[in-house]
Amino acid sequence: MATVEGTHAPGGGGAPIGYRVEYEVVGKAIHFRATFSNGGAPHEGEFDFDPGRLDPAAAVDAFMQNHIEKSDWDVAP
């Protein structure tokens, strides 16, 4: 599986959260498993992307940053 690692500060201005995402591309879908530096439970899921506009690693990174910023996961305060 491919891996993306990064950090992003949540939208509320909290401390940066590190993440590690293992993912695989199946057609126009990315299946992923993410772990977070704050000790939250791993999160698995999938999302669609347009491979003509964005490479998979960039899509995963953008997806993670968006969700951390929105703080809509229990593991990303």
Question: What is the percentage of the chain residues whose pLDDT exceeds 90?
Answer: 49
Q: Establish if 32 belongs to a structural domain.
A: yes
Indicate whether 39 belongs to any domain. Answer: yes
Q: Which residue segment(s) compose the domain that 46 sits in?
A: 2-9+18-70
CA dist 11 and 26 (Å) reads 30
In a domain, 24, yes or no: yes
In a domain, 50, yes or no: yes
44 assigned to some structural domain = yes
The predicted model scores a pTM of 0.79
The total domain count for the chain is 1
- CA–CA gap between residue 13 and residue 21 (Å, rounded): 22
> Model confidence over 25-61: pLDDT tens digits?
999 999 999 998 887 788 899 999 999 999 999 999 9
pLDDT confidence tier of residue 67, bands split at 50, 70 and 90: confident
- Domain membership flag for residue 36: yes
35 belongs to a structural domain: yes
Residue 77 lies inside a defined structural domain of this protein: no
